Structure formats: C-alpha cells, structure tokens
A and B are shown apart, each in its own frame.
Chain A
Amino acid sequence: MRSSHVIAVWLFERLGLDGALAGDLLEECVRGRSTVWYWKQVMIAIWIGIWTQIFGHKVLALRAVATGCAVNAAWLFLWTKFLHLGLPVLPPDTKRLMIESVACLLIILLTQTLTGWIVARTHRAHAIPMVVVFVVWLVLWYVGGTLSGNEPRFLPHLAWYLTPIFTVVVGLLIGGIVGAHPKRQPSWPTSPAEV
C-alpha cells in the first residue's frame, strides 16, 4: 500500500491536487479499505481534478490546443520536407515495410513526446490537464478523420489505423508528465483568512 501511496502522491503533486486528500485515502486504507478501493478513489480524484482545471481555464485550454497544433504542424512540415518515410495504408507485409513502419512509429513517439513537453511547459500552472485537452482534441480529430473516410474498418486494419494515434497519445502523455512540475501548493487552497 505504501508503494501505491507514493505513486498516488507523485501523480497528485503533478496535477496540483491536495496532499490532504492523499492522506485521507491512506488513512482509510489503514482502517481496512482495499487497494482496489484506494485506486478507484485516486482515479476519480485525478479525473475530477483534470476536468475541473480544464473547465476552469477554457481560454488556456484553447491555447493549449493551438500550441499543440502549431508544434505538430512544424513537425509535419519537417517530416514532409526531410523525411521520405510514411506509414503504409495496410499493415506491413514485408520486412522493409515493417522496418519503415517501426521507424515511423518511433519518430511519432519522439516528436509527440516533445509536443507534450512543450504544451506542458507553456502551460505550467495546469500542465497535465492542458496536455489532456490536446490529446482529446487530437484523438477526436484523428478518429473522426479516419472513420469518415473509406478506410477498411475491420480488424486488423482498424488496429493498424489506431496504432499511430495510440503512439501519439502515449508520446504526448509522457511528454506532459515529464514537462509538468510537481506542485506543492494544493489546488484546494487554504482560505486567506486562515493563512
């Protein structure tokens, strides 16, 4: 349980959630609550914390999407200008295509990690929620764009189409977490009268 608590506190600090909440959850576990209950509560707290920060800072959220789009547009420009690689439309069936696909996915992972890092660093006060906004926007755009076309939607083609966006999401989240500074100040602050 202590290791779970360390991970939860680590996440809470990066999201700016109140450390007292982490203490409350651990106190309940000491009194007999299960690890499943603990993680369910942590996930709910993180979910609420992220969306509270997003809805509380809508303009910042738009700016995060714009920043992410601008950075990705730059990556796209550099890719098309200097890199003559592309993911095949169908799942790779030759060794050369397989190597090319893996190289593409690695480049996507690296560039999206940098994008997530940049979005996090340019929105330091609410780094992870702003990266999450960009992730949601990108996933909706990608899935909408992919599924609205005449692409094959049956497995394994669908799995192949979802591989790049999965890589993008993982990269962005890694970059966001790395770029987010732990916050000692809780998002549920002490009232001025008590300070």
Chain B
Amino acid sequence: MLAVIRLGEGAYGVPISREIEQETGRDVAFGTVYSTLERLQKKGLLRSNLGDATPERGGRAKRYFRVTSTGLRTVRETKQSLIRLWRGLRELEGGAA
C-alpha cells in the first residue's frame, strides 16, 4: 500500500517490486506482489486499470494500481494504531538494545 502511494501515478508491478526491494532490502517475487495487490483490491483498498501494451513487454499491458479513498483512510488508521502501540515502550526508546 505504501509503495503504491509513494509511486503515485506510475505504480505498476515492476516499480512496486523495486520500491519494496529497495526499502526493505529483501528480494520479492512478482507473483507474491500481484497476489497481495489482488487481495488489497478485493478489499477495496486499491483499484487498477490497464495501460497501453508495449513491444518490450511482449504486447502485454501494464496494470497500474492506485490507492482508493478507503485505502488511504485505512493506511492513516493503521499508522495511528502503530503510533499508539509504539508509545510507552521504554525498551525500544533511545536506540538501546
């Protein structure tokens, strides 16, 4: 969701996967990314549309993903929940192990 929001208009499979890889430092499988995006789409948090087909993609169109208003609201609520959970955890404050 955050990767889709960060990428804005150009959020399709390749940049989404790269964004996740760059930010997490982990390799991600495209199948996993698409499967997750499908689930988020079914929940109404994302929507998608097909772009133009290009020869370098073997005539396959790009599927662009965008976050819906429900998705944005859910992300904000999740962030607030995480902030509330994070507060008061003295063991995790100040960078000490």
Contact = CB atoms under 8 A, between A and B. Distances in A.
B35 A20 contact: no
A33 B81 CA distance: 39
Interface residues of B, number: 30
A9 interface: yes
B29 A45 contact: yes
Contacts of B53: 23
Contact of B30 (A5, A45, A193): A45
**A interface majority secondary structure:** helix
Interface stretch (A100-108, A139-147, A161-169, A184-192): A184-192
B60 A26 contact: yes
Interface stretch (B3-11, B41-49, B72-80, B87-95): B41-49
Interface of B: 12-14, 17, 29-32, 34-35, 37-38, 41, 44, 46-50, 53-54, 56-63, 68
Interface of A: 2, 5, 9, 18-28, 30, 40-41, 44-49, 52, 187-191, 193-194
